[in-house]
């Protein structure tokens, strides 16, 4: 996992520096979690990962930064979309087929619609292109290189997330109940609180971040059309 999450991004950063380009790297809220938090995590907050995944992703961030390339590291969380396998699609299936479902309520964060994240990345790339055009130097040093946070706005637990998924899908027959995370032992320890502060990305790039329930509704409506 160290090779995939740490060494590979570092190698990409080295190559990008040689090409004088911009590396946009997706990281994770898993870099937090070892310390108890009750306010949204900021970019300069010390990483305290609780497992190998978070630790290797943090090493990947550090490796990119050390190359001194042009980079934007975007930490995100709870990603879902209409495509592939993800929490929303799993819960859509379970709440439509199960009479009762237990979902943890003691892990809190913010869902992120992949489309919204992609839109944010597009905005960042457009900003970089503008800076290249205006740069009079042979080597571009991107003034906005750094670590940023991006998720949708708002806060919820996995239980709250599931309740809204079922409501928007019209799955009314499933009795969804809250439970503690220790009722479902897992080899992966998720942060109990990993809400990301998005002030920096909003102010730097002028990005307007949608509220999580609004984006969830868009995704589910799209899935209904399929």
CA 158 to chain centre: 15
> Is residue 220 within 8 Å of residue 88, measured between CB atoms?
yes
Q: Using CA atoms of 35, 41, 43, 47 in order, give the dihedral in degrees to the nearest 10.
A: 10
Q: Residue 22's beta-bridge partner residues?
A: 70
User: Active-site residue 53, yes or no?
Assistant: yes
CA distances to 69, 94, 137, 142 from 22, in Å: 7, 41, 16, 8
Q: Per the structure block, which two tokens stand in for 165?
A: 């998924």
β-pairing, 108-109 vs 156-157, is antiparallel
Catalytic-labelled residue, pool 30, 53, 113, 211: 53
Q: For the stretch 34-55, what's the b/e string if a residue is b when 16 or more beta carbons lie within 10 angstroms of its beta carbon?
A: beebeebbebebebbbbbebbb
Which residues are catalytic, by number? Answer: 53
């Amino acid at each position: 996992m160290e090779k995939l999450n740490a060494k590979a991004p570092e190698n990409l950063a080295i190559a990008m520096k040689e090409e004088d380009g911009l590396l946009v790297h997706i990281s994770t809220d898993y870099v937090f979690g070892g310390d108890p938090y009750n306010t949204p995590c900021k970019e300069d907050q010390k990483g305290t990962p609780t497992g190998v995944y978070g630790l290797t992703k943090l090493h990947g961030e550090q490796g990119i930064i050390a190359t001194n390339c042009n980079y934007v590291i975007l930490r995100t969380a709870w990603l879902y979309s209409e495509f592939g396998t993800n929490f929303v699609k799993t819960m859509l299936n379970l709440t439509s087929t199960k009479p009762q479902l237990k979902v943890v309520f003691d892990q809190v964060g913010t869902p992120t619609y992949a489309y919204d994240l992609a839109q944010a990345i597009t905005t960042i790339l457009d900003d970089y292109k503008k800076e290249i055009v205006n740069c009079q130097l042979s080597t571009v040093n991107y003034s906005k290189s750094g670590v940023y946070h991006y998720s949708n706005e708002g806060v919820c637990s996995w239980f709250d997330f599931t309740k809204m998924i079922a409501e928007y899908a019209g799955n009314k027959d499933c009795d969804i109940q809250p439970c503690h995370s220790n009722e479902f032992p897992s080899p992966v320890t998720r942060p109990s609180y990993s809400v990301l502060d998005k002030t920096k990305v909003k102010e730097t790039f002028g990005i307007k971040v949608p509220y999580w329930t609004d984006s969830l509704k868009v995704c589910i409506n799209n899935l209904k059309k399929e």
